[in-house]
Amino acid sequence: RPTFTCGGVVSGESGFIGSEGFPGVYPPNSKCTWKITVPEGKVVVLSFRYLDLESDALCRYDFVDIYSGHANGQRIGRFCGTAKPGALVSSSNKMLVQMTSDANTAGSGFIAKFSAAEPHERGDREDPSPWRALPRLQFLWECLSAPASLPTGWAMAPALIELKFEKFDVERDNYCRYDYVAVFNGGEINDAKRIGKYCGDSPPAPILSEKNELLVQFLSDLSLTADGFIGHYKFRPKKLPTTTALPTTTTVPTTSVVKPTVPLCQQKCKRSGTLESNYCSSNFVITGTVITAVTRAGSLHATISIINVYKEGNLAIQQAGKNMSAKILVMCKQCPLIRRGLNYIIMGQVEEDGRGKVFPNSFVMSFKTKNSKILNALKNKTC
């Protein structure tokens, strides 16, 4: 049986890599990197034979990252727990695997086989699976730049971009690994700026950029095609016009924005009613973990990693692999008070851009597992 060490450089037609000390418990506080290279003209196919890392819905503690290429490559996926992903395929003859563990370990780690495949063939012929090892065709719509200024009579910052998909039919996969559309803030492919990654036959909710640039990326492999997608974009002003009436020739659409006001934020920070009484009057009802919380102009802009959706309404929900998230605007930063890292039941309204909006009297409370029974009952209720 081979002895596995922390990382290394491996090459050839095929081989195995594994966590340090496998099948023993992997060490704490480590970061191990494997650089895999197969012959030129081929792609790398990585198949996990065993996976046992500390389980977490967001893979925040112990995890394995897979990248296409060795330096500044695109991340293919992040994995933890015991559920093995399907075969993972690089876009070239190089792949990087990196395992990270924190101070508290749990599990035996992983073992995976890498193999070389022709771009048009499946990899790992001795272990057939429905997962394909195919190259990708890539299309980029770069930097859809909104104008830096708008018609006379408007005083505002550069416009934002709203992207809507009228039709969407891209090969379905739980991880969107084969055919997908990805949308990024700014003009470059960067995981930190990725708004979402989409596949399947349901159009994503409308997407609104943070600034005046978007990048739309479409990738497909050489098998199982679908009808594709049709989308359109338009510019939205970042602020409301300063004039009371618009010029008759102006057709630029606006987004309603409610700013925190003194009277609003002086209301008593006390939720009213019960789960049952607030359910039907709320546009959306979710449970989730606060993963980011940033204060801007008296409001709190939060990203919620969703545990469950009970009432979606028009809430824009982004999905990357199995992880779903949504943007929430707490109108008054101290009311209701939510903290990063904690779980909540959140009920609220939805803005035109699909972002959730929470007021001081909105129903927000800490989420406990015992609440799920009530919420599931409400989900089946007709409002």
* 181 closest CA partner among 220, 145, 133: 220
What is the number of domains present in the chain?
3
Domain annotation covers residue 110? yes
Specify whether 289 is located in the same domain as 354. Answer: yes
Domain annotation covers residue 45? yes
231: domain CATH number is 2.60.120.290
Mean pLDDT of 361-374: 86
Residue 305: strand, helix, or coil: strand
Specify whether 170 is located in the same domain as 101. Answer: no
Residue 196 structural domain: 159-237
Say whether pLDDT at 148 is over 80: no
Q: What tens digit of pLDDT does each residue of 227-274 get? A: 788 887 887 766 544 444 444 443 333 333 344 444 667 766 777 788
Mean pLDDT of 98-106: 88
Say whether pLDDT at 180 is over 90: no
- Tokens read off for 263: 């009277």
Does this model's pTM top 0.85? My answer is no
Residue 331: strand, helix, or coil: coil
Domain annotation covers residue 3? no
Say whether pLDDT at 312 is over 70: yes
The pLDDT score that the predictor gives to residue 257 is 38
Specify whether 375 is located in the same domain as 297. Answer: yes
375: domain CATH number is 2.40.50.120
Specify whether 219 is located in the same domain as 282. Answer: no
Mean pLDDT of 281-307: 87
Specify whether 111 is located in the same domain as 163. Answer: no
C-alpha–C-alpha distance, residues 10 and 335, integer Å: 54
The pLDDT score that the predictor gives to residue 101 is 94
Domain annotation covers residue 244? no
Domain annotation covers residue 347? yes
Domain end marker among 117, 148, 180: 117
Domain annotation covers residue 327? yes
Mean pLDDT of 279-298: 87
Domain annotation covers residue 176? yes
Domain annotation covers residue 264? no
- Backbone torsions φ then ψ of 330, nearest 5 degrees: -90, 110
Specify whether 28 is located in the same domain as 105. Answer: yes
Domain end marker among 84, 117, 150: 117
pLDDT-derived band at 322 (thresholds 50, 70, 90) equals low
Q: What tens digit of pLDDT does each residue of 150-164 get? A: 334 434 445 788 898
Specify whether 316 is located in the same domain as 374. Answer: yes
Residue 207 CA: distances (Å) to CA of 33, 159, 181, 248:
35, 14, 13, 28
Specify whether 13 is located in the same domain as 111. Answer: yes
Q: What tens digit of pLDDT does each residue of 73-91 get? A: 889 999 999 988 889 999 9
CA 71 to chain centre: 23
CA count, 13 A, side-chain hemisphere, 356: 34
Domain end marker among 237, 264, 295: 237
